[in-house]
């Protein structure tokens, strides 16, 4: 299998794990980060900035899910660049940076930061889930090598 395909499959694995954790957590805890709401706001603002009508309802949910899955998969796929000896460290590092970016960049990007940074607990959960996604991607890539 070509390294690029392996890395993309690993990235998809990480993105799916991340989304599953988000979806399960939001259904069982009102304290859970709502990355889905942050994403919906980003999709809406992006559409408006492009001068197109933003999707609403189920179309917005689906568009956000696809955009989130694709962007996280592409990001996590980069974990595969490098050797196996440090892949888990890279996975954790990429996840850490993504989680910190989610909580730190929402406000500067004009998004509602309370969806991912409402409390210290919410912030820790947001970062932890992105780290889990990065580790899942790293493990998938490593197992495909």
pLDDT in tens, 100-117: 999 999 999 999 999 999
How many domains is the chain built from?
A: 1
Give dist(CA 65, CA 35) in Å, integer. 10
The pLDDT of residue 30 is 87
Give dist(CA 1, CA 38) in Å, integer. 36
Q: What domain range is 110 assigned to?
A: 3-144
- Report the candidate in 102, 55, 49, 54 with the shortest Cα–Cα distance to residue 75: 102
Q: How far is CA 119 from CA 33, 52, 57, 126, in A?
A: 9, 34, 27, 11
| Per-residue pLDDT band at 48 (split at 50, 70, 90) | very high
- pLDDT single digits (tens) 18-31: 999 999 999 999 88
* pLDDT surpasses 90 at 140: yes
What pTM value is reported for the model?
Answer: 0.93
Q: What's the N-to-C CA distance of the chain in angstroms?
A: 8
């Amino acid at each position: 299998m070509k390294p690029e395909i392996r890395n993309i499959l690993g990235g998809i694995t990480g993105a799916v794990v991340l989304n599953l954790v988000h979806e399960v957590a939001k259904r069982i805890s009102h304290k859970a980060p709502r990355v889905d709401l942050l994403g919906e706001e980003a999709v809406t603002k992006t559409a408006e900035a492009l001068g197109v009508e933003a999707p609403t309802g189920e179309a917005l949910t689906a568009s956000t899910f696809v955009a989130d899955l694709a962007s996280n998969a592409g990001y996590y796929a980069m974990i595969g660049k490098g050797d196996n000896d440090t892949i888990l460290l890279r996975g954790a590092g990429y996840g850490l940076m993504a989680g910190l970016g989610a909580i730190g960049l929402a406000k500067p990007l004009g998004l509602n930061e309370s969806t991912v940074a409402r409390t210290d607990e919410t912030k820790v959960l947001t970062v932890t889930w992105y780290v889990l996604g990065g580790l899942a991607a790293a493990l998938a890539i490593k197992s495909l090598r």
